[in-house]
Amino acid sequence: MTRAKPFRIDPKLDLLLERVVALPRERVWAAWTQPKHLKKWFTPAPWKTVEAEVDLRPGGRFYFLMQSPEGEKFPNTGCILEVVKNERLVWTNALLPGYRPASSGAASADDLVFTAVIALQRKGRGTRYTATAIHKNPDDAQKHAKMGFHDGWGKALDQLVALMKKK
């Protein structure tokens, strides 16, 4: 399998969270790819991730079920696109598992279609963590920003670090 080139970010279309965290990248990778970990950090409290599935291969299923503080449930099914262990994970909800195009009509009006690129680089004893959300148009990018992308993904990352430090 040919390796992909780095992504070129389009500031009008893409949202970016970049931080250096005090965890080896293997621990960050484990947190992102093992459902038992995902369920503990993936959703900023008081929201919860009550179910998670990761079929870690191109074309495989990336699924999580979020639950609001009021108990309302929000399922998300996506397709994994790239798996480079300890380096890069790419998934999208524009496709279902097996690369099947997703029915945008099936999603609620609040659902956003995006591709997530999680990139991990060694940085001393820690990891440079870069999460990019790639959208189809500026409206979706702005909507995602207003929904609290930076705050939400940042808080979730704090939860990831707190969880994986204990191990």
**Based on CB atoms, which residue is closest to a copy of itself, 21 or 133?**
133
**Based on CB atoms, which residue is closest to a copy of itself, 112 or 163?**
112
Is there binding between residue 108 and a copy of itself (CB under 8 A)? no
Is there binding between residue 163 and a copy of itself (CB under 8 A)? no
Contact 93, 113 (CB under 8 A): yes
Is there binding between residue 73 and a copy of itself (CB under 8 A)? no
Alpha-carbon distance 155 to 4, whole Å?
29
Tokens of 157: 């990352």
Q: Which of 71, 103, 108, 124 binds a copy of itself (CB under 8 A)?
A: 103
Is there binding between residue 68 and a copy of itself (CB under 8 A)? no
Closest approach, Cβ 158 to a copy of itself, in A, equals 27
Is there binding between residue 110 and a copy of itself (CB under 8 A)? no
Q: Which of 2, 69, 109, 166 binds a copy of itself (CB under 8 A)?
A: 2
Is there binding between residue 113 and a copy of itself (CB under 8 A)? yes
Sheet holding 61-67, edge to edge: 14-21, 126-134, 115-123, 88-92, 73-84, 61-67, 48-54
* DSSP conformation class of 118: E
Sign of CA dihedral 134, 125, 58, 63: negative
